[in-house]
Amino acid sequence: MMTTTPPTPSVQLLEVSPEYAGQRIDNFLLARLKGVPKTLIYRILRKGEVRVNKGRIKPEYKLQAGDIVRVPPVRVPERDEPVPVAQGLLQRLEAAIVYEDKALIVLNKPAGIAVHGGSGLNFGVIEAFRQMRPDAKELELVHRLDRDTSGLLMIAKKRSMLRHLHAALRGDGVDKRYMALVRGNWAASIKQVRAPLMKSNLRSGERMVEVNEEGKESVTVFKVLRRFGDFATMIEAKPITGRTHQIRVHTLHAGHCIAGDTKYGDEGFSKEIRDLGGKRLFLHAYMLTVPLPEGGELKLQAPVDEMWAKTVERLLSAE
């Protein structure tokens, strides 16, 4: 563990223990300073108010065991200060758990729930689970899903599991597969999209991603699951890389946007799906295979929600 001064608005000195070696300073602070806005953390980093071994560092600095991190006075909630998450949402998330052991939770995240607070949201999945599992002091998201995407989401209960899964995600040890309902008749010949992606922010502050030769290499493998005439296709998407909005932008690049996608989609197509009862983004992380630290694999599948299932039924009956 690490030693800290009490979480009050005063200077804190945090000593980095070996298990946190290699973690970026920004992620280290985001995990330590629960409840402090992300924008504030990056501001104090940018201004040089955070020091490591008395020196200024950049947000991408990777910590070493024994580093002394100086944190300026910031408001940090008391450890027993509850996160204001509604009981109904807590029960819904508890019911969404598909796997749990001493080190890992996997849930079938409902569409419309953010994975963490921020951008005007007081809480997300991780804040809710910290309230639901108060004895698990090291709960962290292993990866992220967009707010409107449903499906399998991993939460590590132990730092050792988090590091194991991050290493697996950086390699090819994790197999994540999504289902998506896209516009038009997806050609069987489109088995892979390899197109570099770059993030940009609009004047409104909204984050968008576009195909750009100067962007990061991005690869998605696709397979047709079911066709609905020339109107729509249900596809499987397997992201080889893990870029923001990757599947949504790669399907658009292939000429087939996803139903219900307000950022990259087609409003006319989305309205036709809404008229069938499909009032959501039709992107669902339905299959997950991860290696376990002690050997073997964990293989999970998550069913789609009732709205998705009924919309598909209506599509089939309309053929």
Binned at pLDDT 50, 70 and 90, residue 80 comes out as very low
Q: What is the pLDDT of residue 34?
A: 73
Is the pLDDT at 7 greater than 50? The verdict is no
Nearest to 254 by CA among 271, 237, 267: 237
Q: For residues 52 and 68, is the Cβ–Cβ distance under 8 A? A: yes
Mean pLDDT of the chain: 89
Q: Tell me which of 101, 146, 230, 275 is the catalytic residue.
A: 146
Binned at pLDDT 50, 70 and 90, residue 30 comes out as confident
Using alpha carbons only, give the angle 249, 250, 252 rounded to the nearest 5 degrees. Answer: 65
> Which of the residue ranges 2-11, 33-42, 71-80, 210-219 would you say has the lowest mean pLDDT?
2-11
175 catalytic? Reply is: no
Strands 297-301 and 283-291: antiparallel
State how far Cα 287 lies from the chain centre.
15
Let me know if 172 is exposed, middle or buried by CB neighbors in 10 A (0-12, 13-18, 19+).
exposed
Q: Which amino acid is at 284?
A: H
Strands 55-56 and 207-211: unpaired
Is the pLDDT at 232 greater than 80? The verdict is yes
Which DSSP category does 257 fall into? P
Using alpha carbons only, give the angle 187, 188, 192 rounded to the nearest 5 degrees. Answer: 95
* Residue 50, C-beta contacts closer than 8 angstroms, at least 6 positions apart: 25, 29, 44, 57, 69, 70, 71, 72
Q: For residues 270 and 156, is the Cβ–Cβ distance under 8 A? A: no
Q: What is the pLDDT of residue 286?
A: 98
Q: Which ranges of the chain does DSSP label H, i.e. alpha helix?
A: 25-32, 38-46, 87-95, 125-132, 159-170, 246-253, 267-275, 306-318
Q: What is the pLDDT of residue 39?
A: 80
Nearest to 309 by CA among 236, 234, 239: 234
Q: What is the rounded distance in angstroms from the CA atom of residue 292 to the CA atom of residue 99?
A: 13
The pTM for the full model equals: 0.75
What are the CA-CA distances from residue 26 to residues 19, 29, 71, 140, 166 (Å)? 16, 5, 12, 14, 16
Q: Which regions of the chain does DSSP assign to beta strands (E)?
A: 12-15, 51-52, 55-56, 68-71, 97-100, 104-109, 140-141, 150-156, 175-183, 192-194, 197-201, 207-211, 219-228, 232-239, 283-291, 297-301
Nearest to 174 by CA among 187, 188, 164: 164
Let me know if 33 is exposed, middle or buried by CB neighbors in 10 A (0-12, 13-18, 19+).
buried
Which DSSP category does 24 fall into? B
Mean pLDDT in residue range 292-313:
96
Q: Which amino acid is at 111?
A: A
Q: What is the pLDDT of residue 75?
A: 65
Mean pLDDT in residue range 75-88:
61
Q: What is the rounded distance in angstroms from the CA atom of residue 305 to the CA atom of residue 309?
A: 6
What is the tens place of the pLDDT at every residue in 123-178?
789 989 998 998 888 899 999 999 999 999 999 999 999 999 999 998 888 999 99
